[in-house]
A = this chain, B = another copy of it.
Amino acid sequence: MSSAALTVSAATGTGESMHAFMRELFPICRSITGAGVRETLTAVGRRIPLELREVPTGAAVLDWIVPDEWNIRDAYIAKDGHRVVDFRESNLHVVSYSEPVRAVMPLAELRPHLHTLPEHAEWIPYRTSYYSRTWGFCLAQRQLDELADGDYEVVIDSTLEPGSLTYGECFLQGERDDEVLLTTHVCHPSLANDNLSGIALLTELGTRLHAVRRSLSYRLLFIPGTIGSITWLARNEGQLSKIVAGLVLACVGDSAPLTYKRSRRGGAIIDRAAAYVLGRRDTEDQVVDFIPWGWDERQFNSPGFDLPVGSLNRSREGEYEEYHSSADNLELISPRSLEEAFETVCEIIEVLESDRSYVNLAPKGEPQLGKRGLYPQVGGPAAEREQLALLWVLNQSDGQKSLLDIAERSGLWISDLRVAAERLLAGGLLAAVDIAA
């Protein structure tokens, strides 16, 4: 199948399909390690060829140590044998990485372990405590307000023991060894936009990329946030020079416009491809500069790696009201938002795939197109656009400028330029130049 099939113009139901996958994954209690991540990756692996990697607790990864593995079976706060806060109702009720506890204590003693969002009385916050041992519960402010004084039974039936950190890797070899790195984090429990939307989009992208002819190779990572990318970087340091572009995907399912955040370098090919795609739209989509904040792009863009990895989001980390609360649920997500984000990523990848450089083999004057059957036979706007694409490719192809350079300068569609280049190549007027990434 041709890579031209990467982008499709009409709705194809991918939005609904992604939303369905999110509904399937929503109940699982994920964290940075443990059974929830494995279950999630197994579900992804039913859709795309995914390899699960296990890295043992205690492994030194860059400046970090792989932590103990956390698993949880049950948790609750009960009064008089009646559960008033229940992990079975929402896995957000337990602070992630809570150590096990089984005790009876008065409300006053319990209270420092209870977290709420006073400004949203009905929402349960999402809290973690990965690197300092403690335990805690999250609950709605309304629930807290209703708790009477007295003794409570407090149970967290968790384990926090040596095990391993799990992540998933899907590699799709292309004609070239140059790699595009596509990642999403998989460490959040029942939260929808952050991070199930990214998991669903990256999985869908895997199925699409798997099906088409690829000039570039693609590496899709499903990793726990921060410690996951740090672990992957530590284990793959020798292979990083293959990465010519990358994209961190997160929070792509809500209704906010798309934001592409540039890589640290700022002028990498991924930055230009994303700016080209977003810039040709009549939307509020925007391109912003790199900042060392957000998701795993922070690790990929650290100065010792400085990889050309940008990120694509709708609402951004910490910048939407429902962020890290029970309100970040499936109702926040629309299939249409997922589909638009998905098609945008496909268009960006299409630009990466198209961005070849050529040398005009008849560079002195314009070659006579007519005698080669390259001159449009009929007139009209389409023929003029076609001829202009031919002339731009001929005029700029001195081996230095790529089709993206030409698209940026001419204002033409890169897809038109690619068709023109292929016709000129067939006509013997161009030669392809190997890309130095």
Contacts and interface: CB of A to CB of B under 8 A. Distances in A.
Interface stretch (A19-27, A189-197, A299-307): A299-307
11 contacts: A62-B364, A62-B365, A233-B364, A292-B366, A292-B394, A293-B391, A298-B391, A302-B363, A302-B395, A304-B364, A306-B398
Q: 7 nearest interchain CB pairs?
A: A304-B363, A304-B364, A292-B395, A292-B391, A63-B367, A62-B365, A303-B398
A238 interface: no
Contact of A132 (B298, B303, B370): B370
A405 B191 CA distance: 38
A388 B293 contact: yes
A365 B302 contact: yes
Given A370-B131, A370-B132, A305 B365 contact: yes
A310 to B, nearest CB: 15
Given A304-B364, A363-B304, A392 B299 contact: no
A240 to B, nearest CB: 10
Contacts of A264: 395
A127 to B, nearest CB: 11
B368 A131 contact: yes
A409 B289 contact: yes
A226, A366, A391: residue with the most chain B Cβ atoms closer than 10 Å: A366
A77 interface: no
A304 B366 CA distance: 10
A432 interface: no
Interface string A356-396: 00001011111110110000000000000000100110111
Contacts of A52: none
Contacts of A226: 366
Contact of A392 (B292, B366, B370, B398): B292
Interface string A285-300: 0000101110000110
A397 interface: yes
A420 to B, nearest CB: 12
A262 to B, nearest CB: 11
Contacts of A395: 264, 292, 298, 301-303
A410 interface: yes
A432 to B, nearest CB: 16
Interface in A311-355: none
A289 B363 CA distance: 20
Interface in A262-297: 264, 289, 291-293
Given A131-B368, A298-B391, A388-B293, A303 B397 contact: yes
Nearest to A398: B303
A217 B429 CA distance: 36
A309 to B, nearest CB: 13
A164 interface: no
B410 A299 contact: no
A289 B395 CA distance: 14
Contacts of A366: 63, 226, 230, 292, 298-299, 302
A397 to B, nearest CB: 7
Given A304-B363, A366-B302, A291 B397 contact: no
